[in-house]
């Protein structure tokens, strides 16, 4: 039993190395993924920020959590394309004809996705600090925010993997994850919900991205833009992310077994 | 005689369409066995079933002494599959591909490195080992694919259309590599739609058409099953050609060239009878030549290939 776990772990490790190498060797996608946080931060703080009054001090103080989520949506696109590309190439057949667990193959993609997204998040934070973001949080709150980010990225990555397996073609997978890139705009990522028209307000205030964003905002800045307590937003965010994670994990595992078997 | 593959009554349908309609197959240990058939005959499906990638709807299969359905893991350990599209990672180098696969076969890191070096040399890829596979030629990809297949020294190697899309020189090179593997004692089961490939490589051939095996044997047996010789007749006018079409059991006909090919046992009497039939039908041939049949002729006669 122990030996078989060690082997599964070694398989996963090999797959992670493979996916990380592939990420590093796709310079265009990699460059875009790193440029995106920087450009968006500068754009939102210096171009739009002056015209947006959030009632929460400087715009940099408001927008950082929103940009982290926006970049994760972009990262999900990359992951969905990577999984779909793998599924449409002959190499998965070879993996499957070898004595390896299917979960190792998907885990490689998920861990590489986590690594890419954490790098993008670190860039958002670094550039944010450079343009005037002044979080007011103790180490425990920083750790809680980091945990929120990891949980969120994992949920997005498994969701993206499920999209990639479901749609198979890299183009279709990319198109599907566009939803994840646009949903943050109809959340409290860039402007507070109460500034939106009545139709959008309930959507923006209650969608899962908002809970995730407000949790980070509350942990870093002390209060949320919705007026709800941080703990309330946090439980909501954890529930949403865990739900998405479990459902996507189950869907991806099922799809992997059935899609590659046809 | 021991068999590495022994299959009985293998059936598979996809969405109501019958792809394999009761296939029996025996592949003796240590030989190169070719599964020959046109596109859509069911070759790839059969290979994928034998390689544990899909489950048959019915039938019993033993691969390398293990029951396919009862113990697929043991089967996986004894086999290696090289699919129609080179199953290599384009974004890795040749050496990284080999080492990754060796690690997945649970070679220790140092052993994986050593085995990769051996295989790079054996398959002529030493110079290209540090290049990304996306810069490789078609032939190099197939060689890398084969090298990966040989990492664990499998007892049975499946090659699904190994030379499709290769230029003639790369194809012959690959044939040499496959023969070399067979010489090392690996049983090879390959599919091909090229008759020449089966003729050149295979010790035994089975012809698959519409999900059924329509003929089996050595290349020579299959050719002689047709009759010893093929008689090629040429007609001076279209009327004679049409009348001859109606009077003969033909292998192949070409309307534009007004030629008809017929199988015979090669005796002078049979040719005499043939000419007699033509005279009776009022369709005298203007020219006649006699030659050995090719596997192509066998294939056409078995699959009703007068199209």
pLDDT in tens, B36-49: 988 888 998 999 99
Q: Is it the case that residue A97 has pLDDT exceeding 80? A: no
CB atoms within 10 A of CB B189: 28
Residues of B numbered 132-191 whose beta carbons fall under 8 angstroms of chain A's beta carbons: which are they?
Answer: 132, 148
Mean pLDDT, residues B102-115: 93
pTM equals: 0.75
List chain B residues with CB under 8 Å of A95: 104
d(CA A108, CA B118): 28
Predicted local distance difference test score (pLDDT) of residue A260: 61
Q: Is it the case that residue A191 has pLDDT exceeding 70? A: yes
Q: Is it the case that residue B53 has pLDDT exceeding 60? A: yes
A90 vs B81: CB contact, 8 Å cut-off? Answer: no
Hey, is the C-beta of A258 within 8 angstroms of any chain B C-beta? no
Q: Is it the case that residue A194 has pLDDT exceeding 50? A: yes
A90 vs B83: CB contact, 8 Å cut-off? Answer: yes
Do the Cβ atoms of B87 and B100 come closer than 8 Å? no
Cα A17 from chain centroid?
Answer: 20
The mean pLDDT of chain B is 87
Picking from B54, B79, B100, the nearest residue to A14 by CB comes out as B100
Hey, is the C-beta of A22 within 8 angstroms of any chain B C-beta? yes
pLDDT in tens, A112-133: 999 999 999 999 999 999 998 9
SS3 B262: strand
Q: Is it the case that residue B226 has pLDDT exceeding 70? A: no
Predicted local distance difference test score (pLDDT) of residue B227: 61
Predicted local distance difference test score (pLDDT) of residue B33: 96
The mean pLDDT of chain A is 88
Name the region of B114 (left: φ>0; alpha: ψ -120 to 50; beta: rest). Answer: alpha
Mean pLDDT, residues A173-190: 86
pLDDT band, residue A2 (cuts 50/70/90): low
Print the SS3 string covering chain A: CHHHHHHHHHHHHHHHHHHHHHHHCCHHHHHHHHHHHHHHHHHHHHHHHHHCCCCCCCHHHHHHHHHHHHHHHHHHHHHHHHHHHHHCCCHHHHHHHCCCCHHHHHHHHHHHHHHHHHHHHHHHHHHHHHCCCCCCCCHHHHHHHHHHHHHHHHHHHHHHHHHHHHHCCHHHHHHHCHHHHHHHHHCCCCCCHHHCCCCCHHHHHHCHHHHHHHHHHHHHHCCCCCCCCHHHHHHHHHHHHHHHHHHHHHHHHHHHHHHCCC
Q: Among A123-137, A243-257, B113-127, B158-172, whose mean pLDDT is lowest?
A: B158-172
List chain A residues with CB under 8 Å of B88: 91
What is the complex's ipTM, to 2 decimals?
Answer: 0.80
Q: Among A177-181, B64-68, B83-87, B161-165, whose mean pLDDT is lowest?
A: B83-87
Predicted local distance difference test score (pLDDT) of residue B306: 42
Hey, is the C-beta of A27 within 8 angstroms of any chain B C-beta? no
Q: Among A65-69, A226-230, B224-228, whose mean pLDDT is lowest?
A: B224-228
Predicted local distance difference test score (pLDDT) of residue A164: 92
What's the gap in Å between the CA of A12 and the closest CA on chain B? 9
pLDDT band, residue A205 (cuts 50/70/90): confident
Q: Is it the case that residue A71 has pLDDT exceeding 70? A: yes
Mean pLDDT, residues B206-225: 86
B103 vs A14: CB contact, 8 Å cut-off? Answer: yes
Q: Among A81-85, A240-244, B69-73, B303-307, whose mean pLDDT is lowest?
A: B303-307
Percent of chain B whose pLDDT exceeds 90:
39
List chain A residues with CB under 8 Å of B151: none
Hey, is the C-beta of B103 within 8 angstroms of any chain A C-beta? yes
């Amino acid at each position: 039993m122990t030996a078989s776990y060690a082997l599964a772990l070694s398989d996963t490790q090999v797959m992670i190395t493979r996916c990380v190498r592939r990420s590093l060797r796709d310079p265009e996608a990699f460059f875009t993924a790193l440029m995106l946080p920087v450009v968006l931060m500068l754009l939102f703080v210096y171009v739009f920020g002056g015209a947006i009054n959030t009632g929460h001090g400087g715009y940099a103080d408001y927008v950082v959590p929103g940009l982290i989520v926006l970049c994760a949506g972009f990262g999900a696109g990359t992951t969905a394309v990577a999984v779909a590309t793998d599924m449409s190439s002959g190499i998965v057949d070879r993996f499957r004809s070898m004595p390896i667990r299917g979960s190792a193959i998907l885990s490689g993609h998920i861990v590489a996705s986590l690594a890419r997204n954490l790098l993008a998040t670190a860039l958002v934070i670094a550039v944010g600090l450079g343009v005037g973001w002044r979080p007011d949080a103790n180490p425990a709150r920083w750790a809680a925010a980091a945990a929120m980010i990891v949980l969120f990225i994992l949920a997005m990555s498994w969701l993206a993997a499920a999209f990639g397996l479901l749609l198979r073609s890299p183009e279709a997978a990319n198109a599907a994850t566009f939803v994840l890139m646009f949903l943050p705009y109809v959340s409290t990522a860039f402007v507070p919900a109460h500034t939106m028209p009545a139709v959008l307000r309930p959507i923006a205030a209650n969608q899962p991205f908002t809970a995730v964003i407000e949790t980070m905002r509350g942990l870093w800045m002390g209060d949320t833009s919705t007026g709800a307590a941080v703990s309330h937003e946090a439980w909501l965010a954890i529930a949403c992310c865990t739900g998405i994670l479990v459902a996507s994990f189950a869907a991806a595992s099922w799809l992997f077994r059935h899609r590659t078997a046809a | 005689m021991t068999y590495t593959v022994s299959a009985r009554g293998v059936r598979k349908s996809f969405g109501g369409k019958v792809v394999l309609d009761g296939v029996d197959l025996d592949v003796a240990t240590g030989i190169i066995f070719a599964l020959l058939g046109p596109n859509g005959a069911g070759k790839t499906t059969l290979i994928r079933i034998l390689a544990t990638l899909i489950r048959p709807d019915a039938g019993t299969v033993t691969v390398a002494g293990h029951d396919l359905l009862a113990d697929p893991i043991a089967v996986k350990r004894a086999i290696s599959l090289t699919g129609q599209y080179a199953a290599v990672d384009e974004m890795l180098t040749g050496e990284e591909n080999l080492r990754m696969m060796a690690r997945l076969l649970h070679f220790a890191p140092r052993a994986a490195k050593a085995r990769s070096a051996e295989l790079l040399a054996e398959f002529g890829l030493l110079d290209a080992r540090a290049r990304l596979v996306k810069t490789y030629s078609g032939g190099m990809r197939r060689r890398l694919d084969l090298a990966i297949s040989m990492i664990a020294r499998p007892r049975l190697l499946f090659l699904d259309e190994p030379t499709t899309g290769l230029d003639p020189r790369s194809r012959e090179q690959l044939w040499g590599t496959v023969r070399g593997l067979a010489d090392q004692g690996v049983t090879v089961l390959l599919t091909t739609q090229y008759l020449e490939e089966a003729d050149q490589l295979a010790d035994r051939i089975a012809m698959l058409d519409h999900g059924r095996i329509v003929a089996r044997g050595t290349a020579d047996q299959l050719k002689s099953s047709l009759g010893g010789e093929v008689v090629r007749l040429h007609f001076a006018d279209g009327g004679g050609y049409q009348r001859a079409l109606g009077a003969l059991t033909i292998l192949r006909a070409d309307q534009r060239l007004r030629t008809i090919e017929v199988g015979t046992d090669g005796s002078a009497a049979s040719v005499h009878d043939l000419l007699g039939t033509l005279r009776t039908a009022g369709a005298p041939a203007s020219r006649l030549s006699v030659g050995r049949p090719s596997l192509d002729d066998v294939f056409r006669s078995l699959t009703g290939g007068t199209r």
